[in-house]
Structure 1
Amino acid sequence: MRYLLYAEQNYSYAILRPLQQAILQRGDEAVWFLAGNEIRHDYLHADERKFNSIKEVVAWHPDVVLVPGNHVPKFIPGIKVGIFHGFNVAKSTRPDDRGHFNIRGCFDLYCTQGPNTTSGFEQRAKKYGFFGVRQTGWSAMDPLFQNLPSAVPDDGKKTILLCSTFTKELSCAPLLVETIRQLRDSGKWRWLVQFHPKMPREVVNAYKALQNEQLTFVETDNVIPLLQQADLMVCDTSSVMTMFLLQRKPVVTFRNQTRGNTEHLLNVTEADALEQAIAYALSCPDELMAKIDGFIADTHPYQDGKSSERVLDAIDDFKHTQFGQLKAKPANFVRSLKERKKLRYWGF
């Protein structure tokens, strides 16, 4: 089997690499194609294969295209599989049909993360009839449940990870600069700071200026080691907080705008309430931890680090039992034209 790893953003590396490992362990082929100008080619490892042009991709004729994004060109051969680039956090600024559950007509199969995602896509699969759904867990979470070495000193001091989305209406980062400076100076906790790659440069620079022995700003394509090192996360409405919660670690949010049940989060609306909320959450109170456990069961119940294997098994099952029996995907000429223009491909 030939698997194309289709990537447009740097976060794709951490999502696709566990799948690449599982594919190679099966004795199959995995080759990367890095599309667009927003992904860094130097993040590829020396032993990882890639195509340099879309013509090479089409000529190779992959059996499966794995996509941690919202779109994939229709003209690339193979079963198109959506594997997501984050969890559904049901942001209040967008309806479900525009967010996590937006059906764009690109994919043959969605490999979902847990019950609360599966049910939404199964409903839409019945409605549209041109894609299948399999619950597998998310490949990006496989390394989270493996023991990786920690870079944090074992000195008894708790580590707080600050993460934030780049969306202006949702981002806590611009609003907490001075508060984080004060908490850093208190010396109570060690701080790690990591932002979405699209965070405005002025915000990034403000936090880089805070760096000292108590606070480290991290730029990385793989957030998993940071999630493992930290004892608590401070966040806003970014899907990365879901990844953190899966470890049974508490999250304190600042002006969270998630729709629906948020009892598994400890939310504050004023910056001067952040310190007390962190101290309380670090005590891991029973009531809060029970809410977190319920959230995990509904969101991503797999903690065996084998979601990538389940994705490959799901693709095999889909190929032999459902693919070819579905309705044709919508033509979507406008989207197809945009993809061809972006990749400069006009062949057929």
Structure 2
Amino acid sequence: MADYLLFATERYALPILAPLAQALHASGQRVSAWFEGNARGLEAQVAPFVHPVDLKAAVALRPRAVFSAANWVPPFVSGAKVQLFHGFNVEKRADTRGHFRVRGLFDLYCTQGPATTAPFRELAQREGHFAVAQTGWPKLDPLFRDDGGASAALRTPAGERPVILFGSTFTERLSAAPLLIEQIAADIALGERYWLLTLHPKCPPELFASYRALAGPNAAFVEPEQVMAAQRAADVLVSDTSSIVSEFIVQHKPVVTFRNRAPKPHMLDFDDADRLPQLLRQALAPTQALMAEIVRYAGSIHPDRDGHSSERVIAATEDFLSGELGVLKPKPFGARFRALQIRKELGYWGRGAR
């Protein structure tokens, strides 16, 4: 039995780490979690058997591997540092600042699909200080296996009506939430469709209050921890430039996007809020051409549909630790500077694990 550590800084990391925690536990391993920032104190929401630890305990634990759903990880904790990602590449910003930014903190990147794997393998070949394995994304495991009736429970109030899920990014300049609320409220009032409403945990509290107020016989508000069940329950997603678009599309279901930063053929994108009902009708009766684009894109970002990405992450980590993924070069000088910044931010100057 070995010790493994989960690391997170935001609440949205919980559904990413939960399936991995379950897979580690099922294989007989000990699972601990060190959560900082907005994720602090939420370890029990990942799984009841996950042992919460603080920074000093995480160092003393000397885990075999640290799985991070943040864009950083404390380098002074022992074990392989494994990047799981907190979303898909949805082109919110330039590659050098976004999905493909490499800071020298991770040993292994577990990529979601070919669209992410190829760029990271090019970077790994050039940089030499990290390895890459295409595993799929643990967060999506619940989409493709029994979820204990969670999705059915969300869908039951809809009866025979189609179910529409709304989810929005927190990035203010890209968020549809404040711009579509009147049109969504009007559609909810008609009652022809049943809505599941959710927001990114970092959205403003007043926006949360506005959307929670829409709940009733024709709509329900869904907490961030229920989002995967909501995606299973819904027929169509309405969103913007959020990673949830890519998460939803892997189920081969239509998405309607409002002013997406980089619209693609698999999306039904629109820029006039009053056209929302029209786009919903199109999404609920998709053309063969649209479905072909959806299937093609889903295959490029996340071809695995077996619900076992977590097991592949564990296997890839063991391959890395056994040397099967090659020998890494030393971390770049910039990584040492970043390590000092992390120590300063955390207020920790104790000895790291060797």
Q: Indicate whether the TM-score tops 0.5.
A: yes
Where in structure 1 are there 5+ consecutive unaligned residues?
none
Which residue of 2 is the match for residue 314 of structure 1?
Answer: 316
Which residue of 2 is the match for residue 35 of structure 1?
Answer: 36
Structure 1 CA distance, aligned partners of 2:159 and 2:310? Answer: 35
Q: Give 1:323 shift.
A: 6.6
Where 2:164 maps in the other structure, the secondary structure is strand
The one-letter code sitting in structure 2 at the alignment partner of 1:233 is: L
The one-letter code sitting in structure 2 at the alignment partner of 1:344 is: G
Q: Does 1:187 align with 2:188?
A: no
CA distance change for structure 1 residues 254 and 189 in 2, over 3 Å: closer, same or farther? same
Q: Give 1:44 shift.
A: 5.0
CA distance change for structure 1 residues 147 and 105 in 2, over 3 Å: closer, same or farther? same
The one-letter code sitting in structure 1 at the alignment partner of 2:297 is: F
For normalisation by structure 1, the TM-score amounts to 0.94
The equivalences for 1:48-197 within 5 A come to 48-51=50-53, 53-91=54-92, 94-148=93-147, 149=149, 150-151=152-153, 152-153=155-156, 155-197=159-201
Contact 1:132 1:322 in 2 (8 A): no
Structure 2 CA distance, aligned partners of 1:38 and 1:63? Answer: 22
Where 1:30 maps in the other structure, the secondary structure is strand
Higher mean C-alpha deviation, range 248-257 or range 142-151: 142-151
The one-letter code sitting in structure 2 at the alignment partner of 1:203 is: L
Structure 2 CA distance, aligned partners of 1:133 and 1:70? Answer: 16
Where in structure 2 are there 5+ consecutive unaligned residues?
none
Which residue of 2 is the match for residue 264 of structure 1?
Answer: 266
Higher mean C-alpha deviation, range 201-210 or range 75-84: 201-210
Structure 2 CA distance, aligned partners of 1:44 and 1:276? Answer: 39
Structure 1 CA distance, aligned partners of 2:114 and 2:47? Answer: 34
Contact 1:263 1:288 in 2 (8 A): yes
Which residue of 2 is the match for residue 250 of structure 1?
Answer: 254
Structure 1 CA distance, aligned partners of 2:224 and 2:23? Answer: 23
Q: Does 1:337 align with 2:340?
A: yes
The equivalences for 1:215-234 within 5 A come to 215-234=219-238
The one-letter code sitting in structure 2 at the alignment partner of 1:77 is: S
Q: Give 1:47 shift.
A: 2.9
Q: Give 1:40 shift.
A: 4.2
CA distance change for structure 1 residues 133 and 324 in 2, over 3 Å: closer, same or farther? closer
Which residue of 1 is the match for residue 241 of structure 2?
Answer: 237
Say what the alpha-carbon RMSD is for the aligned residues: 1.6
For normalisation by structure 2, the TM-score amounts to 0.93
Where 1:195 maps in the other structure, the secondary structure is coil
Q: Give 1:313 shift.
A: 1.1
Contact 1:113 1:299 in 2 (8 A): yes
Contact 1:35 1:343 in 2 (8 A): no
The one-letter code sitting in structure 1 at the alignment partner of 2:162 is: K
Structure 2 CA distance, aligned partners of 1:48 and 1:124? Answer: 34
Contact 2:124 2:130 in 1 (8 A): yes
Which residue of 2 is the match for residue 290 of structure 1?
Answer: 292
Q: What count of residue pairs does the alignment treat as equivalent?
A: 343
Structure 2 CA distance, aligned partners of 1:39 and 1:253? Answer: 32
Q: Give 1:276 shift.
A: 0.6
Q: Give 1:181 shift.
A: 1.3
Structure 1 CA distance, aligned partners of 2:326 and 2:125? Answer: 16
Where 1:164 maps in the other structure, the secondary structure is coil
Where 1:178 maps in the other structure, the secondary structure is helix
The one-letter code sitting in structure 2 at the alignment partner of 1:78 is: G
Contact 1:13 1:222 in 2 (8 A): no
Which residue of 2 is the match for residue 278 of structure 1?
Answer: 280
Contact 1:36 1:343 in 2 (8 A): no
Higher mean C-alpha deviation, range 292-301 or range 8-17: 8-17
The one-letter code sitting in structure 1 at the alignment partner of 2:132 is: V
- What do residues 44-70 of structure 1 show as CA deviations (whole Å, max 9, x unaligned)? 54432111x211111111110100110
Identical-pair percentage: 43
The one-letter code sitting in structure 1 at the alignment partner of 2:120 is: F
Structure 2 CA distance, aligned partners of 1:97 and 1:222? Answer: 32
Where 2:60 maps in the other structure, the secondary structure is helix
